[in-house]
Amino acid sequence: MKAMKTFAALLALALVGILSGCGQTKTQPADNTMHLAPVEFSAEQAELLQLAGVNTTADRFFLYEFSGNHTEANGTEICHYIWKDSQWMPYKRRDGLVSGRYAQDLNGETGKIAFHRDGDSNSDFSIEVHYPDGGWSHLKGGPGAVSDPTEGRFATISTMEEPIDDLAVGVETPILIRVFHKQDTIWPLSTDAFSAPESSEALQKSSYAEAYTVKFVKKDNP
């Protein structure tokens, strides 16, 4: 029921045309690339989401939009990693893949990726993807996925902040990172911790960390 409520809210926002990225393309992007951007909400939009049962308070709901620039990409992959043994490791599933959809036309309408959680900072994120071809998927955060190693810990979240208008096909991009610490100490955190973990003090001092990425791919036989 909650999945349907969330999807209905996102769809309603899209239909009335109030979903827009935080930055508009200022120059013509190169062909065969992707547009990926975080979405910001006005107070009115946030209220509409809350009426539909979506908690939009701090660090509980994040939304991204994506679309193709005459791209050959026909697939969208979202992966989940955990920080283990001083490196990012795929979490359980196939190479960390939590959502993969192929044989798509990514050059049409704008797609959406939403992360949301209902509990405290230790709660797992659920993910909803609304694809440009009209399809959608809902991935509910599994119980116990992060609960044990994060019990009683303090969480910090970083998400993608700036739009990318010419993201190359096949490039994996971190869009959400969450780290946990035993002490109530805040270290600066950015999504750069995925590609340059050795430079992230927040990650190096964490007791547990996870990352979500998105990649747009071309598969000849999806």
pLDDT of the residue at 40: 83
pLDDT of the residue at 16: 45
pLDDT of the residue at 21: 45
Are the C-beta atoms of 115 and 127 separated by less than 8 Å?
yes
Is the per-residue pLDDT at 24 higher than 60?
A: no
Question: Which of 49 and 148 is assigned the larger pLDDT?
Answer: 49
Q: What is the pLDDT of residues 86-129, one digit of tens each?
A: 999 998 766 788 888 888 899 878 899 999 887 766 788 888 88
Query: What is the pLDDT averaged over residues 71-99?
Result: 89
Which residues, 6 or more positions from 154, have their beta carbon under 8 angstroms from its beta carbon? Answer: 121, 180, 181, 182, 183, 184, 185
Least reliable range by pLDDT among 13-27, 41-55, 123-137, 196-210: 13-27
pLDDT of the residue at 204: 94
Question: Which of 125 and 200 is assigned the larger pLDDT?
Answer: 200
pLDDT of the residue at 147: 47
pLDDT of the residue at 149: 59
State the pairing for strand pair 75-84/87-90.
antiparallel
Look up the pTM and report it. 0.84
Strands (E), 32-181: 33-38, 61-69, 75-84, 87-90, 97-101, 111-116, 126-130, 136-139, 154-159, 164-168, 173-181
State the pairing for strand pair 126-130/75-84.
unpaired
Give me the residue label for tokens 């000849």. Answer: 220
Are the C-beta atoms of 77 and 215 separated by less than 8 Å?
yes
d(C-alpha 145, C-alpha 124), whole Å: 7
pLDDT of the residue at 199: 96
Q: What average pLDDT is seen over the chain?
A: 81
